[in-house]
Amino acid sequence: MYARFNDIANALKGLGKVYPNHELVSKILRCLLKSWESKVTAIEEANDLSTLPLEDLLGSLMTHELRMKDQDKSDHKKRTIALKASKDESKEESDQDKEMAFLTKRIKKILMNKK
């Protein structure tokens, strides 16, 4: 996103339209998605946008993006397995044996992948 934004800003400079740094910073903050709203608010409150260098803004946004990706990865790793419940006792024992065999296979597969 930054590379494309920078290309547009440079093309406008070539045409004679020069934007001050604080306008470029505010334009980038305005174009971010809703999921970034909390980060945008934090940046606006913590920094003086008229003196914030564009590179510092970019670094802050990239750091936040990496944290969000790490958090998504850790959320995907937390999976749970739901077991079926049945009313028939004879069937219940058979289902439990099947589920136990399934869980055993899954655990073995996970352990083999980690080696």
Q: Looking at the domain assignment, is residue 88 inside a domain?
A: no
Q: Looking at the domain assignment, is residue 113 inside a domain?
A: no
Measure the CA–CA gap between 88 and 21, rounded to whole angstroms.
72
The count of domains in the chain is 1
Backbone angles phi, psi at 53, to 5 degrees: -65, 145
Q: Looking at the domain assignment, is residue 43 inside a domain?
A: yes
Q: Looking at the domain assignment, is residue 103 inside a domain?
A: no
pLDDT for 68:
86
pLDDT for 79:
63
Q: Is 60 exposed, middle or buried (0-12, 13-18, 19+ CB in 10 A)?
A: middle
Task: Pick the more confident residue, 86 or 59.
Answer: 59
Q: Looking at the domain assignment, is residue 10 inside a domain?
A: yes
Record the pTM. 0.56
- Whether 60 contacts 92, CB under 8 Å: no
Q: Looking at the domain assignment, is residue 47 inside a domain?
A: yes
Q: Looking at the domain assignment, is residue 72 inside a domain?
A: yes
Which residues are CB-contacts of 9 (< 8 A; sequence separation ≥ 6)?
19, 24
Measure the CA–CA gap between 109 and 115, rounded to whole angstroms.
10
Task: Pick the more confident residue, 25 or 115.
Answer: 25
Domain extent at residue 17: 1-76
pLDDT at 89 over 70: no
Q: Looking at the domain assignment, is residue 53 inside a domain?
A: yes
Which residues are CB-contacts of 107 (< 8 A; sequence separation ≥ 6)?
none
What is the average pLDDT value for the chain, to the nearest integer?
83
Which residues are CB-contacts of 12 (< 8 A; sequence separation ≥ 6)?
18, 19
